[in-house]
Amino acid sequence: MKDIIGKLNKQFESRIRLGIMSVLSVNEAIDFVSLKDLMDTSDGNLASHLNALERNGLIDVKKQFIGRKPNTRYSITPKGNEAFKEHLEYLARLINQQTI
Amino acid sequence: MVIIINFCFTLQYKVLYMEQNQEPIQQLTAIRNLMERSSRFISLSGLSGVSAGVIALLGTLMAFFYLGKEEPFFNIGSYTLLPAQKINQSMWFLLIDAVVVLVLALLSGIYFTTRKARKEGQKVWDHIARRMVINLLIPLMTGGLFCIILLYHRLFLLLAPATLIFYGLALLNASKYTYHEIRVLGLIEILLGLLAGWLTGYGLLFWAMGFGVMHIFYGMMMYFRHEDVKEEECKVNSE
């Protein structure tokens, strides 16, 4: 019983972080504004979560300019993909355990 | 990527039948919802398909009655045998008819889709809508230009098959970013186009089938699958 659940990824405890990873796992890359619309949160909040995920190497950030407007695009890293998959499997085990 | 989505869906179905622990279940629901909303254009309304189909049928009927004066059947191909002046006359009529149908169908499509998005509190023009439209337009524009080339060379015979085939390819391409039904509809349009290329002379009939009947059929199917249900769910929730 003790270790079948495995480790809970502390990274994904926050709703926003989990949301960011969900979106990035099915999109090649996405810009800040689209991400904000999807997550329905404030600029500052989203930015700080994105920074944390980037620091941990789970997501990749590319800054560029479209005309004069800065445009930041985010994508998932292989490490991030792995961590997200593990988290999903963790949730699956948690649920399966309850059904037995 | 697809594996992850499928994985999520299976989990969610499992989850539907038990309510012990809400926490992981809510997480999965949120994950699934975000994955779907961010990778698929789900505001596309089935009603826009129905209205586009009805408009297309009316347009085809108009062309049929116009051509019917001289040609008792759907045989656009035999127009190449008519005097040059006649060809030009009917070509202009058909071209204007086609453009009017296209514009009206697009406008009605945009109307119903915007309405659906607003009802669900979603943005219509987001990154995924943009991606879908770009992927739709590349084969569609190629097809449009190719049809102009056909008109230029007076190859009227191939007009109906070309429009249907390119439209089908455009739908197939756009379907990656929206409902699965669009993919099937695209395949059917391609099939109809190939058939129309084989059975030349029945262009109008195939147009009526492909742009009219199929749009109405698939529009209704999408409406009953994705929209009707949601309205019921909303009612249940509000009670």
Q: What is the pLDDT of residues B19-49, one digit of tens each?
A: 444 577 888 888 888 898 888 888 899 999 9
Please report the sign of the dihedral spanned by the C-alpha atoms of residue B101, residue B102, residue B104, residue B105: positive
Helices and strands counted in chain B (H then E): 10, 0
Of A25, A30, A95, the CB nearest to B4: A25
Name chain A contacts of B1, Cβ cutoff 8 Å.
25-26
Q: What is the mean pLDDT of residues B134-145?
A: 96
User: How far apart are alpha carbons B39 and B36 in whole angstroms?
Assistant: 5
Of B21, B35, B38, the CB nearest to A98: B21
Q: Which of B56-60, B86-90, B225-229 has the largest mean confidence?
A: B56-60
Complex prediction ipTM:
0.81
**Cross-strand partners of A74:** A30, A61
Helices and strands counted in chain A (H then E): 4, 3
Helix axes B22-39, B2-16, angle to 10 degrees: 140
B113-126 per-position pLDDT tens digit: 999 989 888 888 88
Identify the CA nearest to B190 among candidates B159, B161, B221. B161
Q: Model pTM? A: 0.77
DSSP type of residue A69? E
Cross-chain residue pair B24–A99, CB shorter than 8 Å: no
Min Cα distance B51 → chain A (Å) is 30
The CATH number of the structural domain formed by A2-96 is 1.10.10.10
Instruction: Answer left, alpha or beta for residue B201, where phi above 0 means left and psi between -120 and 50 means alpha.
Output: left
Work out whether strand A69-76 and strand A30-31 pair parallel, antiparallel, or are unpaired. Answer: antiparallel
The per-residue pLDDT for B83 is 60
Helix axes A15-26, A32-39, angle to 10 degrees: 120
Residue B18 has pLDDT above 70, yes or no: no
Residue type, B91: M
Cross-chain residue pair B4–A92, CB shorter than 8 Å: no
Is the Cβ–Cβ distance between A20 and A36 less than 8 Å? no
User: How far apart are alpha carbons A35 and B206 in whole angstroms?
Assistant: 43
Q: Could you give the 3-state DSSP secondary structure of residue B119?
A: helix
**Burial (CB count within 10 angstroms: exposed 0-12, middle 13-18, buried 19+), residue B42:** middle
Residues of A with CB under 8 A from a CB of B: 15, 18-19, 22-23, 25-27, 30-31, 34, 37-39, 84-85, 88, 91-92, 94-96, 98-99
Min Cα distance A52 → chain B (Å) is 19
Q: Which of A45-59, B17-31, B198-212 has the largest mean confidence?
A: A45-59
The per-residue pLDDT for A8 is 57
Tell me phi and psi for residue A77, to 5 degrees: -95, 160
Cross-chain residue pair B35–A23, CB shorter than 8 Å: yes
The per-residue pLDDT for A2 is 40
Residue type, B37: R
Instruction: Give residues with Cβ within 8 angstroms of B5, minimum separation 6.
Output: A26, B32, B35
- Angstrom CA distances, A60 to A52, A57, B192, stand at 11, 7, 45
